[in-house]
Amino acid sequence: MAQTAISQFFVLSPRGDTIISRDYRADVPKSSSNTLFRTIKFWPDGEAPPCFTIDNVNYIYIKSNNLIIAATSKFNVSPSMLLELLNRIAKVCKDYLGIINEESIRKNFILVYELLDEMLDFGYPQGTSTESLKGYIYNEATMIKQQVRSGAGLKLGKKTKHSSAVNQPIALSRTRDKNRRNEIFVDILERLTVTFNSTGSIISSEIDGRIQMKSYLSGNPQLRLALNPDLVIGKGGGNYGGVALDDANFHECANLDEFEETRTMVISPPEGEFVVMNYRVSGDFHAPFRVFPFVEDISDLRLELVIKVRADMDAKSYGSNVKVRFPVPRTTGTISTMLDKTGGPQNCEYRDKQKEVVWNIEKFMGGTEHTLVTKITLVSPCNASTRKEIGPISLDFEIPMYNSSNLKVKYLRINAHASYKPLRWVRYVTQAASYICRT
């Protein structure tokens, strides 16, 4: 029978240094953190799985901002349950610290240990809710200074707040609660999974989206969140020109009595960050980037790959830190690349060890197109299998204030007295989960 007791909990830096460590049962070797780090780093077939067993010790880990958050156990534990536990611990720490990274944990290690003592007792999970822990936590977080890097030509207006503003800790003391600004952040986050064929046509596409809130409202007043009135949930319903979601699920704090008729949720927000709604869209939707590859044999020892990437977005939108990468044949000797000179900072790098080309575009404006010409020189004659080693082409990007599903927040109202005057911040972000073009 599976148990949930863990033997150790630790947080490792990207270099393998132990930042946080708790040994609850003393039945696992002290060197287990080193074993975990070496195993993850030198896993033979690429990235290590989140759960594995070495010398009768079960290792379970997640990654957050390049940190490794892990647990060990000698019991026949449920992997999915412990992965959920690690994610909840990470979420609670993020709520109390504002952001999880090496610096924030090192500056707040006393607070982190206090949280762990309340969340785990002799290796058994206890409360993992930000709100329920608030009455037992007395240390307050030390905020870290974050480097804010804005895109070229991007200016923030007086009514615009930088996205890093959401990375502030939840206030703990009653005195601080009275003095803090009442704010609530709403993020509509969408991750796209799209596969193109060699002609640039979409083979498959899916959106994994969520509406996420982080509340800094004193007293946790009730909220009313309204979405598109023409929203349809469920296949077969038809969207008739509106917004159609395949399926959706909601947080337990959302009252859906009015949702069917008015698409309005009444929310009693818990303290900290939480996901109000998860949703999924499959099938046809407007892909923000299109990829068109062209491969040509120049000679027996030379190939030329031309990649055109087009931003099919409004001119006001842009992709931030767009990264295009693709593998080249194992018999590649040298690579030469040529970029177009338009459209701001960009660079191209060939990684000989990985036999991979990486093309970086800092700011990809909507309605524009960029081209990369790659000339590949081989050490042995080209054949059919050599050509198959080129690609697939993958894209990684983030598009602020844009979403592909067209799901919108119509309004966000806060039920409080007239003098409350809270601030509301709504942000749309689209990211690439798996954005692939076959060659």
Nearest alpha carbon to residue 407 among 143, 207, 165, 135:
207
* Rounded (10°) angle between helices 79-97 and 109-119: 140
Verify that 179 and 272 share a domain, yes or no.
yes
Q: What distance in Å separates the CA atoms of residue 251 and residue 309, rounded to the nearest whole number?
A: 38
Question: Alpha-carbon distance 6 to 147, whole Å?
Answer: 36
Task: Give domain status of residue 156, yes or no.
Answer: no
Report yes or no: 111 and 68 within 8 Å, Cβ to Cβ: no
Backbone angles phi, psi at 262, to 5 degrees: -120, 0
Residue 149 is assigned to a structural domain of this protein: no
How far apart (Å, rounded) are the C-alpha atoms in residues 131 and 272? 7
In 3D, which of 288, 281, 290 has the Cα closest to residue 400?
Answer: 288
Q: Provide the pLDDT for residue 423.
A: 82
User: What secondary structure letter does DSSP report for 145?
Assistant: P
Is the pTM higher than 0.85? The answer reads: no
- Name the DSSP letter for residue 217: -
Residue 158 lies in a domain: no
The Cα 308–Cα 65 span in angstroms is 31
Residue with the two structure tokens 């946080």: 20
- For residues 337 and 361, membership in a common domain is answered with yes
Do 232 and 331 lie in one domain? The reply is no
CA atoms within 13 A on the CB side of 49: 8
Q: Which residues contact 318 (CB under 8 A, 6 or more apart)?
A: 151, 311, 363, 364, 365, 366, 399, 400
Q: Are residues 195 and 118 in the same domain?
A: no
CATH number of the domain to which 416 belongs? 2.60.40.1170
Range of the domain at 337: 289-400
Residue 423 counted as domain residue? yes
Is residue 349 included in any domain, yes or no?
A: yes
Residues 255, 341, single domain; the answer is no
CA atoms within 13 A on the CB side of 10: 22
Please give the DSSP secondary-structure letter assigned to residue 77: B
Instruction: Record the tokens describing residue 45, joined without a space.
Output: 């077939």
The domain that holds 52 is classified in CATH as 3.30.450.60
96 and 33 housed in the same domain:
yes
Strands 124-125 and 51-54: unpaired
Could you tell me if 277 and 347 lie in one domain? no
207 belongs to a structural domain: yes
Q: Are 36 and 70 in contact (CB under 8 A)?
A: yes
**Cβ atoms within 10 A of the Cβ of 192, count?**
26
pLDDT of residue 205: 93
**Structure token pair of residue 260:** 């069917």
Peptide bond into 392 cis (omega under 30): yes
Low pLDDT (below 50) residues in the chain:
1-2, 147-160, 162, 172-177
**Residues 6 or more apart in contact with residue 275 via CB below 8 angstroms:** 210, 211, 212, 213, 251
> What is the model's pLDDT at position 436?
95
How far is Cα 18 from Cα 10, in angstroms, rounded to an integer?
Answer: 7
Same structural domain for residues 222 and 179? yes
pLDDT at 284: 78
CB 403 within 8 A of CB 190: yes
Among 280, 277, 312, 273, CA closest to 402: 312
Same domain (yes/no): 268, 406: yes
Closest CA to 326 of 358, 372, 294, 374: 358
Q: How confident is the model at residue 353, as a pLDDT?
A: 86
How far the first Cα of the chain sits from its last, in Å, is 48
Cβ within 8 Å of residue 230, ≥6 positions away: 239, 240, 241, 242, 243
In a domain, 159, yes or no: no
- H/E run at residue 67: strand 67-73
Cα separation of 8 and 22, whole Å?
6
Confidence at residue 238, expressed as pLDDT on a 0 to 100 scale: 54
- Within 10 angstroms of residue 99's Cβ, the number of other Cβ atoms is 20
| CA-wise closest residue to 429 among 318, 340, 352 | 318
At 257, is the secondary structure helix, strand, or coil? Answer: coil
Query: Sign (positive/negative) of CA torsion 71, 74, 77, 79?
Result: positive
Quick one: 341 and 387 in the same domain?
yes
Structural domain includes residue 3: no
> The tokens 């993992």 sit on which residue?
128
Residues 118 and 191 in one domain: no
Q: How many domains does the chain have?
A: 3
**Residue that terminates a domain, selected from 103, 133, 163:** 133
Residues 293 and 253 grouped into a single domain: no
